[in-house]
Amino acid sequence: MTATGEQLDQTQVQLSHDEIRRYSRHLILPEIGLEGQKRLKAASVLLIGAGGLGSPLGVYLAAAGVGRIGLVDYDVVDESNLQRQIIHGTKDVGRPKLDSAADRIADINPFIQIDKYHEPLNSENALSILGDYDVIIDGTDNFPTRYLVNDACVILGKPNVYGSIFRFEGQVSVFYAKEGPCYRCLFPAPPPPGLVPSCADGGVLGVLPGTIGTLQATEAIKLITGAGEPLIGRLLLYDAAAMTFDTITLRKNPACPVCGPQPTITALIDYEEFCGVPAHDHSTYQEGGALVRAITVEEVKARLDAGDGLLILDVREPVEWQISTIEGTLRIPKAEVVNHLEQLPRDCDIVVCCKTGVRSADVIRQLQGQGYARLYNMAGGINAWARRIDPSLPVY
Amino acid sequence: MASIKIPTPLRQYTGGQAEVTISGRTVGEGLHDLVRQYPALGPHIYEDGVRRGFVNVFLGSEDIRFLQDEDTPLAPDSKLRIVPAIAGG
Ligand SMILES: [Zn+2]
């Protein structure tokens, strides 16, 4: 079975002598051969995200000779990306990821075309961007964009090569509604905001996206060439700590709201509203519900200096306390806070802080649910404190 | 005894345990035994007694929603797992 390979018209493409030398190890592989390599050249693949997963994807798909590669990313290269985003180098810090990735890809393989989309993917632009590609690869880092990519692929009838990572854990599948289940068949509803931290807040093993992104690249090449059995209807679960790969069976959910026989979602929706979280840090999405009041690090410092009775609650994990701390803070990891309410006075102002202000906002919502009122979220977290108040502390 | 694999995002509620031994004649009884051992997990698996939509429970390689859901019999050597929604990239 092949998802897209047979639809690609490879009769129009020819390989030059230079290309034949370059791809010789593919050409002598019976499963690929000249026909498969022409299919790769005729194919177009869209990579959504040029980060951890996008790095090995871009490198290997370019090396394999995929004729046209589209890249979607709005971000710039940050030093903290280099631990895993191997398509970028130290010299690229501060450059748009698209430019850095495109340079690397062009160096690997000058025979292919690169299309750049320097914008966050959203419900307005997704169908027109995705519509121009044969295979879509989801390498994003947030739930709203994952539901968006899924729904757009179902609506357009495209295969979605899915991969995601968290700490030591990874998942891979091919969601292709024409031939099997979609992402929503497995995850009809997103997890509540705050349960699954982002890699920026929860950490990720640097080599993990290398493993998962490479598996996604393998699946994309199989879809294009028709080689092997694609991962449609199966979810591969990788645990790098236990070093286990397990495959579980996915089935089409007859009640799926997007790929089922009676779909209720037939056009793209507001995915930030659906997931209750912003899709990216350029987003203007504001979560509904109780207000979380912010306080700047400068205000916190001034109130501490004035001897103001202020409690700072640091809700990061113990490993993070070893990197940086503010003197005199009460330290309780986020998941433990509700078990230690006796340590939290209700008659004084409490400033909750974490690394950047995301987890602390979750804790404030939890404490509001326990009747606490005098709560402030330290904007920018301890990294803002390190940048603006105490430069002796590292930013991480 | 049957066992259940706990995904990374939920291990903060099992004291870091990646696998927990559970008892029960059905998947539902096993899940309730898990919650009895780790009460902080409760609200992340059930809401008003109903299993939450993002909690996917698999027995071996099969989704319990396509078996007999929580009435699926549990054998002494059954391996359950919760498949988490993760989104990092
Ligand atoms: Zn579906």
Residues 6+ apart with CB under 8 A from A281: none
* Residue-wise pLDDT tens digits, A342-394: 999 999 999 999 999 989 999 998 899 899 999 999 999 999 999 999 999 99
Contact check, Cβ <8 Å, A235/B83: yes
Q: Which residues pair with B37 in a beta bridge?
A: none
Residues 6+ apart with CB under 8 A from A110: none
From the list A185, A199, A275, A353, the catalytic residue is: A199
**Per-residue tokens: B41:** 């997990």
Question: Cα separation of A9 and A264, whole Å?
Answer: 34
Residue A6, pLDDT > 60, answer no
* Domain layout of chain A by residue ranges: 3-275, 290-388
Q: Compute, in angstroms, the gap from residue B19 CA to the centroid of ligand 1.
A: 29
Contact check, Cβ <8 Å, A166/B88: yes
Question: Cα separation of A322 and A315, whole Å?
Answer: 13
* Pairing state between β A160-166 and A294-295: unpaired
Which run of H or of E encompasses A375? strand A375-378
CB-nearest partner of B89 from A141, A247, A253: A141
Residue A282, pLDDT > 90, answer no
Asked if A203 and A46 touch (Cβ cutoff 8 Å), the reply is: no
Residue A190, pLDDT > 50, answer yes
User: Mean pLDDT, to the nearest integer, of A121-133?
Assistant: 97
To the nearest 10 degrees (0 to 180), the angle between helices A208-225 and A33-42 is 110
Residue A7, pLDDT > 70, answer no
User: Mean pLDDT, to the nearest integer, of B45-74?
Assistant: 94
* Residue-wise pLDDT tens digits, A66-82: 999 999 999 999 999 99
- The residue length of chain A stands at 396
SS3 (DSSP) at A225: helix
> Residue B61: pLDDT band by 50, 70, 90 thresholds?
very high
Asked if A138 and A149 touch (Cβ cutoff 8 Å), the reply is: yes
Contact check, Cβ <8 Å, A51/B89: yes
Q: What is the pLDDT of residue A308?
A: 86
> Residue A277: pLDDT band by 50, 70, 90 thresholds?
confident
Asked if A180 and A252 touch (Cβ cutoff 8 Å), the reply is: yes
CB-nearest partner of A199 from B9, B40, B88: B88
User: Mean pLDDT, to the nearest integer, of A267-274?
Assistant: 94
Calculate the alpha carbon distances from A186 to A212, A275, B62 in Å. 19, 15, 12
Domains in chain B: ranges and CATH: 2-84 (3.10.20.30)
Q: Compute, in angstroms, the gap from residue A175 CA to the centroid of ligand 1.
A: 9
Mean pLDDT computed over every residue of chain B: 94
Q: What is the pLDDT of residue A239?
A: 96
Residues in chain A within 8 Å Cβ distance of B62: 248-249
Q: Compute, in angstroms, the gap from residue A5 CA to the centroid of ligand 1.
A: 23
Percent of chain A residues topping a pLDDT of 90 = 85
Asked if A181 and A252 touch (Cβ cutoff 8 Å), the reply is: yes
Residue A2, pLDDT > 50, answer no
Calculate the alpha carbon distances from A390 to A109, A377, A386 in Å. 46, 19, 5
User: Mean pLDDT, to the nearest integer, of B29-47?
Assistant: 94
Q: Within an 8 Å CB–CB cutoff, is residue A320 touching chain B?
A: no
Q: What is the pLDDT of residue A1?
A: 38
Question: Cα separation of B18 and B32, whole Å?
Answer: 17
B5: closest chain A residue by CA: A239
Which 340-369 residues of chain A touch chain B by CB within 8 A?
none
Does the domain at residues A290-388 carry the CATH identifier 3.40.250.10? yes
| Nearest-10 Cα torsion for A115, A119, A122, A125 | -50
Q: Compute, in angstroms, the gap from residue A151 CA to the centroid of ligand 1.
A: 9
**Whether A199 is catalytic:** yes
Which 236-275 residues of chain A touch chain B by CB within 8 A?
237, 241-242, 246-251, 253
Q: Number of helices (H) and strands (E), helices first, in chain A?
A: 15, 13
The tokens 């919760």 sit on which residue? B82
The tokens 């791809």 sit on which residue? A23
* Residue-wise pLDDT tens digits, A81-105: 999 999 999 999 999 999 999 999 9
Q: Within an 8 Å CB–CB cutoff, is residue A196 touching chain B?
A: yes
Q: What is the pLDDT of residue A179?
A: 97
Mean pLDDT computed over every residue of chain A: 93
A204: closest chain B residue by CA: B88
Residues in chain A within 8 Å Cβ distance of B64: none
CA quadruple A47, A51, A57, A59: dihedral sign:
positive
* Residue-wise pLDDT tens digits, A12-62: 899 999 999 999 999 999 999 999 999 999 999 999 999 999 999 999 999
Q: Within an 8 Å CB–CB cutoff, is residue A163 touching chain B?
A: yes
Percent of chain A residues topping a pLDDT of 70 = 95
Q: Compute, in angstroms, the gap from residue A253 CA to the centroid of ligand 1.
A: 6
Q: Which of these, B17, B21, B4, B88, lies nearest to A168 by C-alpha position?
A: B88
Asked if A55 and A88 touch (Cβ cutoff 8 Å), the reply is: yes
Give the minimum alpha-carbon distance from A28 to chain B in angstroms, rounded to a whole number.
34
Q: What is the pLDDT of residue B88?
A: 93
Domain topology for A3-275: Rossmann fold (3.40.50)
Question: Cα separation of B9 and A395, whole Å?
Answer: 25
Question: Per residue in A152-184, is it b (16+ CB within 10 Å) or e — as a string?
Answer: bbbbeebbbbbbbbbbbbbbbbbbbbeebbbbb
Asked if A208 and A84 touch (Cβ cutoff 8 Å), the reply is: yes
In total, the C-beta contacts within 8 angstroms joining chain A to chain B are 99
Q: What is the pLDDT of residue A287?
A: 58
Q: What is the pLDDT of residue A9?
A: 59
Asked if A134 and A90 touch (Cβ cutoff 8 Å), the reply is: no
Q: Compute, in angstroms, the gap from residue A251 CA to the centroid of ligand 1.
A: 9
Contact check, Cβ <8 Å, B88/A202: yes
Residue A8, pLDDT > 80, answer no
Q: What is the CA radius of gyration of chain A?
A: 23
Q: What is the pLDDT of residue B53?
A: 82
**Whether A153 is catalytic:** no
Same fold: A3-275 with A290-388: no
Contact check, Cβ <8 Å, B61/A246: yes
Q: Which of these, A103, A27, A23, A32, lies nearest to A71 by C-alpha position?
A: A103
ipTM score assigned to the predicted complex: 0.95
Give the minimum alpha-carbon distance from B25 to chain A in angstroms, rounded to a whole number.
23
> Residue A195: pLDDT band by 50, 70, 90 thresholds?
confident
How is A235-251 classified by DSSP, letter by letter?
EEEEETTTTEEEEEE--
pTM for this predicted structure: 0.88
CB-nearest partner of B12 from A186, A209, A335: A335
